[in-house]
């Protein structure tokens, strides 16, 4: 399950009801999906999409998404650093950013209109929907691995629009899972 940190309050949430409520105040949708049948996280993309087809169709209806795909990122991904550098600065998109995590982890920072910054560490089974226009940035965790379903309203339009706030520089992209591990080992 996700771990959410309200950075301004230095408060960490691990309870699903608290997480869902805190994210809803920033218009971020959060859900947990369970597969219709057991499936390996390295199964072919078509199988992954088929397994979650009901959830995907429901989301398409709710959000006007027209396509879904599976993105796979690992340390072996060519041009990984350049790819990550596109998204680790504060930006927004003309359409929603929707991700359902199949494997690995990632860290979204959301800069709400209230000024609050939320860090959302997502893992397998987490669905996150960041509405269009929301200021945010994204980092991988230390293992630099994530596999996720993406949904698009218009795949051609999904580009980052950068702000020049540099607010992202005030927040260390440290995953809770890594920090927790280092404390216990």
Contact footprint for Fe ion (CB under 5 A): 97
Please tell me the distance from the alpha carbon of residue 9 to that of residue 119, in angstroms, as a whole number. 12
Nearer to Fe ion, 97 or 126 (CB): 97
Residue nearest to Fe ion (CB): 97
Residue 80 CB, nearest approach to Fe ion (Å): 16
Nearer to Fe ion, 97 or 121 (CB): 97
- Pick left, alpha or beta for residue 181 (phi over 0 → left; psi -120 to 50 → alpha; otherwise beta): alpha
Among 18, 170, 165, 150, smallest CA distance to 71 is for: 150
| Contacts (Cβ under 8 Å, ≥6 apart) of 109 | 7, 117, 118, 119, 120, 136, 137, 138, 139, 168, 171, 173
Residue 69 CB, nearest approach to Fe ion (Å): 16
Residue 137 CB, nearest approach to Fe ion (Å): 7
Nearer to Fe ion, 51 or 63 (CB): 63
Nearer to Fe ion, 89 or 145 (CB): 89
Q: Could you tell me if 131 and 123 are in contact, meaning their C-beta atoms sit under 8 angstroms apart?
A: no
Residue 138 CB, nearest approach to Fe ion (Å): 6
């Amino acid at each position: 399950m996700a771990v959410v940190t309200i950075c301004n309050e230095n408060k960490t949430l691990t309870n699903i009801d608290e997480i869902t409520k805190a994210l809803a105040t920033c218009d971020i949708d959060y859900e947990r999906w369970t597969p219709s049948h057991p499936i390996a996280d390295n199964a072919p993309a078509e199988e992954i999409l088929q397994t979650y087809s009901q959830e995907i169709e429901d989301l398409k209806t709710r959000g006007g998404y027209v396509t879904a795909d599976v993105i796979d990122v690992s340390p072996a991904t060519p041009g990984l650093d350049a790819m990550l550098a596109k998204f680790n600065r504060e930006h927004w998109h003309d359409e929603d950013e929707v991700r359902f995590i199949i494997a690995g982890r990632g860290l979204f920072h959301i800069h709400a209109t209230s000024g609050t910054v939320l860090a959302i560490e997502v893992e397998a089974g987490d669905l996150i929907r960041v509405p269009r226009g929301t200021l945010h940035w994204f980092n991988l965790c230390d293992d630099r691995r994530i596999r996720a379903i993406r949904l698009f309203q218009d795949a051609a339009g999904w580009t980052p629009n950068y702000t020049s706030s540099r607010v992202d520089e005030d927040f260390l992209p440290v995953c809770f899972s890594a920090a927790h591990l280092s404390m216990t080992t």
